[in-house]
């Protein structure tokens, strides 16, 4: 399993580089999110300005402190210097500019997080009180929950130190009484009635780049289709898909690029519903929309939730057609798309992927 550099390691590296001396400064602030129902989310941007008029600020990195289980409720959507998207490590902030960290709070359950950090404690188990004969313990409280995590920005120069931002979210039940989200990151799917479930593999082929043919990976969970009055797909029911491009030598996917590996994360765009026709054999759908995020290095699907991408854009108004009709429960669906010359607005990414043809296939079983 690939090891991920955590904020705790950032702190270790920082203390080593600073000669095992205490940090020159420690800054603390708190950011609260509005009360958020399960199934909904809120996003805000935290700005840390470089007020120095002459010196650039160098950061070892940003990330969540590992002492709280609240990390599952928060994600770092992107890290920017000004309006330019950068990675989470080795960040340079020019004089007068700002480090801007976009955070999304999406509560996954109504369990108050357990943590002990900087003087506050949450989620402690209540002391057990014995019950009298015939009494029963009260049911757990699912009316609300508090989720906390600490975001760290570790500075290297011109002054070493740590900015700590305590993120606080208040969660309440969803509009239909939901108290949790599916833990897999994909929708739960029970076939039958007006619901069909697709399970199988995702493959992607970029003929201009992939000299050895398409890349294929199993889907992390089922895709739920509504088959009432045609066919519909809520794009958030698509589990996150990760594929990795490796190698920058001659003939390799990243030939001539300054990095040896990138991970591309594909997920559905929130608030978008694709629709189309299904005659029992062929599926034709329009208006699919995907969010494309690019991360430097290699990650797995389990790491896709809290990434800080260097490229983040959407591709919408896509059409999906049937390549192999439904036979004995098996079907293959295909998307054929040629990207524009500037699909992401990132010059490095667009120079590499601009104008390329992409063939996406979903091959597996459709259960009704």
**What is the CB neighbour count within 10 angstroms for residue 33?**
22
pLDDT of residue 73: 87
Would you list the domain boundaries of the chain?
7-120+140-172, 195-367
Phi, psi for residue 104 in degrees, rounded to 5: -115, 130
Supply the DSSP string of 252-309, one letter for each residue: STTTT-S-SEEEEEEEEPTT-EEEEEE-SS-EEEEEEEEEEEEEES---GGG-TT---
Pick the CATH number of 7-120+140-172 from 3.30.1540.10, 3.40.50.1480, 3.40.50.620, 2.60.40.10: 2.60.40.10
pLDDT mean by block of 10 residues, the chain; 368 residues: 38 39 72 92 93 91 75 84 86 95 90 65 51 58 82 89 91 84 59 90 87 85 90 90 81 72 85 91 95 82 69 90 95 94 82 88 94
pLDDT of residue 85: 85
pLDDT of residue 141: 57
Whether the Cβ atoms of residue 293 and residue 301 lie closer than 8 Å to each other:
no
- Token readout for 72 is 């599952």
pLDDT of residue 270: 80
Cis peptide before 47 (omega within 30 of 0): no
pLDDT of residue 82: 93
pLDDT of residue 39: 84
Go through the chain and tell me how many residues it has. 368
pLDDT of residue 89: 81
Edge-to-edge strand ranges of the sheet holding 42-49: 42-49, 98-105, 74-81, 84-86
């Amino acid at each position: 399993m690939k090891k991920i550099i955590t904020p705790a390691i950032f702190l270790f590296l920082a203390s080593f580089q600073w000669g095992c001396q205490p940090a020159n400064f420690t800054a603390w602030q708190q950011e609260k999110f509005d009360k958020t129902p399960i199934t909904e989310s809120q996003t805000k941007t935290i700005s840390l300005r470089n007020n120095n008029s002459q010196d650039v600020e160098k950061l070892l990195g940003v990330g969540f402190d590992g002492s709280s289980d609240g990390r599952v409720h928060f994600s770092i959507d992107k890290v920017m210097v000004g309006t330019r998207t950068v990675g989470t490590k080795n960040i340079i902030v020019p004089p007068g500019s700002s480090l801007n960290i976009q955070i999304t709070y999406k509560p996954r359950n109504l369990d108050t997080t357990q943590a002990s950090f900087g003087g506050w404690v949450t989620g402690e188990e209540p002391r057990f009180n014995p019950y009298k004969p015939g009494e029963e313990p009260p049911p757990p409280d699912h009316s609300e929950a508090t989720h906390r995590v600490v975001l760290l920005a570790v500075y290297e120069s011109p002054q070493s130190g740590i900015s700590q931002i305590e993120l606080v979210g208040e969660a309440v039940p969803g509009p239909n009484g939901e108290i949790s989200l599916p833990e897999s990151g994909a929708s739960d799917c029970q076939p039958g009635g007006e619901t069909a479930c697709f399970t199988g593999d995702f493959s992607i082929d970029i003929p201009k780049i992939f000299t050895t043919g398409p890349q294929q990976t199993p889907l992390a969970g089922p895709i739920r289709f509504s088959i009432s009055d045609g066919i519909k797909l809520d794009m958030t029911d698509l589990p996150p898909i990760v594929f990795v491009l490796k190698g920058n030598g001659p003939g390799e996917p990243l030939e001539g690029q300054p990095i040896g590996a990138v991970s591309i994360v594909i997920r559905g765009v929130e608030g978008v519903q694709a629709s189309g026709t299904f005659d029992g054999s062929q599926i034709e759908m329009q208006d699919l929309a995907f969010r494309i995020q690019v991360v430097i290095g290699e990650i797995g699907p389990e790491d896709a939730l809290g990434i800080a991408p260097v490229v983040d854009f959407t591709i919408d108004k896509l059409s999906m057609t049937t390549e192999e009709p439904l036979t004995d429960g098996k079907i293959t669906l295909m998307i054929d798309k040629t990207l524009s010359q500037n699909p992401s607005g990132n010059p490095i990414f667009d120079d590499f992927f601009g104008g390329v043809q992409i063939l996406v296939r979903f091959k597996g079983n459709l259960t009704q």
